[in-house]
Structure 1
Amino acid sequence: MTHAQGVPVILGIDHIGLATDDPGGLAPFLTLLGMNPTDSGPAAAYGVNCDFWQSPGACVEVVSPAAGESAVGKYLKSRGPGLYHLAFEVDDLAADLAVLRAGGFVALDDQPVAGARDGMTVAFLYLRKPAGLLVELVQYATAHHRKAGAADVPH
């Protein structure tokens, strides 16, 4: 895909991030919503642990602090648990990061870093006004990261 007129190429919403210091306490409610745990792992660059929950058509990442001084830990102290970020899958992370920075987003990462899933590279951006929006751009090492039979379902 190409970047026409300075517009990022968004392949879809990869996941919605929820911040909590009690991921185990959230599990029964995600299960009640029909979601199943799919994978988990640390995002060492951010000092967090991540648990991914999947249902047809939706993916939630439960983000919890692995270190007290992580950005998520600070977020939880000031705002409490809840919606943390929106993650968009892209096919050219470096190019899309540059486009969004030029458009007014503040890059929180100097360079993309390894995400919590195998083959996942991410970068975070923030738009203070008008929405206070934290955006994660996600790129996978392979074009076929989605589960078989789920072509339109975020992984």
Structure 2
Amino acid sequence: MLRERLGKGDRDHNMPRKVDHIGVAVHDVVDAARFYRDGLGLSVSEPEINPSERIKIILVSLDHTLIELMEPLEADTVVGKFLDTRGEGLHHICLKVDDVEEIVRSVVAHGAQLVDEQPRTDLHGRKLVFVHPKSANGVLVELVQDTEKDIEKSGK
């Protein structure tokens, strides 16, 4: 019912398909994961290091969406600075798109500011870009594109 009232917007091609994950900044991923695993009964991954972002990550699985718990390995990282100024909590939302370059052209044409000028790749080789919170009502929005291997596995 709500979706029908919202409508589809002015274009259908390359719109975000789903929420890929929700990023949560925490001081300790292992401690934070206990709430999701023990309190809520959700599956959690083993800790993983993202060397380029200098963070430790634990993924929490909820149906087809992940919660990405992020712990800075050093204080001068993006997540470390976020924790220093805002404390623990919601850091970003990530939306899955079919073509990062195309969606970048669209959001920039509509006045959005990007964190990076060019898309980069994540730990798993997926292309991604961040839209600056100033352009998205105070929310850091990550847009991510699956790799060809991911697309083949999903049967698209």
Bucket of the pairwise TM-score, normalised by the shorter protein: 0.7 to 0.9
In structure 2, C-alpha distance between the alignment counterparts of 1:98 and 1:10, rounded to whole Å: 14
SS state at 1:72 partner? helix
Deviations 1:90-145 (A, max 9, x none): 110111122112223221112222213x2322211123267211001111113145
Aligned identity (percent) is 26
Which has the larger strand fraction? 1
In structure 2, what residue type is equivalent to 1:46? Answer: E
Provide the residue aligned with 1:133 in structure 2. Answer: 139
SS at structure 2 position matched to 1:60: strand
Q: Does 1:27 align with 2:33?
A: yes
Runs of 4+ in 1 over 4 A off after TM superposition: 4-8
The answer for unaligned runs of 5 or more in structure 1 is none
Structure 2 gaps of 5+ residues are 1-9
Normalising by structure 1, report the TM-score. 0.79
1:37-56 pair list within 5 angstroms: 37-38=44-45, 41-56=48-63
Query: C-alpha displacement at 1:43, in angstroms?
Result: 3.5
The residue aligned with 2:151 is 143
TM-score of the aligned structures, taking structure 2 as reference length:
0.78
> How far off its partner does 1:6 sit?
9.2
What does residue 83 of structure 2 align with? 76
What is the rounded CA distance, in whole Å, between the counterparts of 2:45 and 2:60 in structure 1?
A: 6
Higher relative contact order (CA 8 A, sep 6+): 1
Question: Counterparts of 1:70 and 1:6 in 2: how far apart (Å)?
Answer: 36
What is the rounded CA distance, in whole Å, between the counterparts of 2:110 and 2:46 in structure 1?
Answer: 33
Larger helix share, 1 or 2: 2
AA matched with 1:18: V
